[in-house]
Amino acid sequence: MPHAPGAEIDQTTRMCIDDTLSCHNVCLETSMYCLQQGGKHTEPNHYRLMLDCGELCETTANHMLRGSILDARLCEVCAEMCEKCAESCEQFRDDSRMLACAEICHRCAESCRRMVGKTKAAA
């Protein structure tokens, strides 16, 4: 169940908001890095995943901050998107920037799954 607008945000929700905002930032920063690298870093499907992941993370955080009635559903989709982005970034095994992006994406996905679980338990 979402928090009431204006009410204090619980710890699980706060962590998920922080993780989604971090993931948003890292995906956008890493997408700029990819543009500088060129080649496989700018392959359309990979690059699009990074942009989509960053945007969805920001949207999900915004909905949680507002106490949206759909925040758990967005968290479900966000977790899936973050895992796909992480898998794409992990293809660059020798690139620490890409692996760091994959790491935050995995962390965000796990945080979003905890939010979904919390919401289902409260229902």
**pLDDT 10s per residue in the chain (123 long)?**
555 555 688 999 999 999 999 999 999 999 999 999 999 999 999 999 999 999 999 999 999 999 998 989 999 999 999 999 999 999 999 999 999 999 999 999 999 999 999 887 876
- Confidence (pTM): 0.91
Sorted by where each begins, the domain ranges of the chain are: 11-122
Query: How far apart are the C-alpha atoms of 47 and 32, rounded to whole Å?
Result: 10
Identify the DSSP state of 6: T
* Region class of 2: left (phi > 0), else alpha (psi between -120 and 50), else beta: beta
pLDDT recorded at residue 119? 81
**Secondary structure tally for the chain: helices H, strands E:** 4, 0
Q: Which fold has domain 11-122?
A: Substrate Binding Domain Of Dnak; Chain:A; Domain 2 (1.20.1270)
